Amino acid sequence: MNNTDAKRKITWKDYRKIGQRFVTQSAFSELNTISGYKPTFTTADEDHDDLISFSKLFLSYYKDPSEQQFVEDVFEGDWRHWKNFKESSVAGEIYKTLRQQADEMLVGDAMKKVLEIAFDDNNKNNLQALKFIIDGKTSKTKEKVGRPKKEKKEPEINSKDLLADIQRLNQGSPIEKRLK
């Protein structure tokens, strides 16, 4: 899907809400549990049988990390439905995987741009880009700086005190002695 496809409005084949509950899992044909409900999406990587690949659709919006345009186009701007959708047990797991993949795609594009700038001798920011690349490679191996953290010490157990406590417990409490 190219960037122009991302702007298309999605019309669900059936209702997005049944009663007071939003449709989440059943929006996918492979996960549909509602009898007679017509799902709109598929979990497959490609569209098929008039079903829209949710992963392909979601990833086409990867340059919109706020998900604003995605919610407008796919959930008719209904943020409550989108929130329920991405927090549901099954659809939520699909979302988490796709969100991570979209974030990685965005970082990948950003790094490509940094590399372009870094190796363009005519760009006034190439030195900063080169520094960024070098710092990124070395920052993972840097040692911690600053004052060392204090380690918590385990309280020392005095064997004399421990023996005295055991002896006191074995003798019983003063109340038990009075009852005898």
* 172 vs 22, higher pLDDT: 22
**Residue 16 belongs to some domain of the structure:** yes
1 has a pLDDT exceeding 50: no
Q: How many domains is the chain built from? A: 1
At residue 63 the predicted structure's pLDDT band, cuts being 50, 70 and 90, is very high
**Residue 93 belongs to some domain of the structure:** yes
Q: Which of 20-24, 126-130, 136-140, 160-164 has the highest mean pLDDT?
A: 20-24
Strand partners, 101: none
**Residue 69 belongs to some domain of the structure:** yes
Domain residue limits at 20: 5-102
Q: Does the global pTM surpass 0.85? A: no
Query: Which two tokens mark 148?
Result: 């060392």
Q: Cα angle at 109 between 107 and 113, to 5 degrees?
A: 115
What value does the mean pLDDT take over residues 100-112? 91
What value does the mean pLDDT take over residues 35-56? 91
Strand partners, 42: 53
**Residue 47 belongs to some domain of the structure:** yes
180 has a pLDDT exceeding 70: no
107 has a pLDDT exceeding 80: yes
What integer pLDDT is reported at residue 123 of this predicted model? 80
- Angle formed by the axes of helices 126-138 and 89-118, nearest 10°: 130
175 has a pLDDT exceeding 90: no
168 has a pLDDT exceeding 70: yes
What integer pLDDT is reported at residue 164 of this predicted model? 81
At residue 2 the predicted structure's pLDDT band, cuts being 50, 70 and 90, is very low
Residue 174's H or E segment, with its range, is helix 174-179
**Residue 180 belongs to some domain of the structure:** no
Q: Provide, rounded to the nearest whole percent, the portion of the chain with pLDDT above 70.
A: 87
At residue 3 the predicted structure's pLDDT band, cuts being 50, 70 and 90, is very low
**Residue 160 belongs to some domain of the structure:** no
**Residue 163 belongs to some domain of the structure:** no
For 60, list phi and psi in degrees, rounded to 5: -70, -15
67 has a pLDDT exceeding 60: yes
**Residue 154 belongs to some domain of the structure:** no
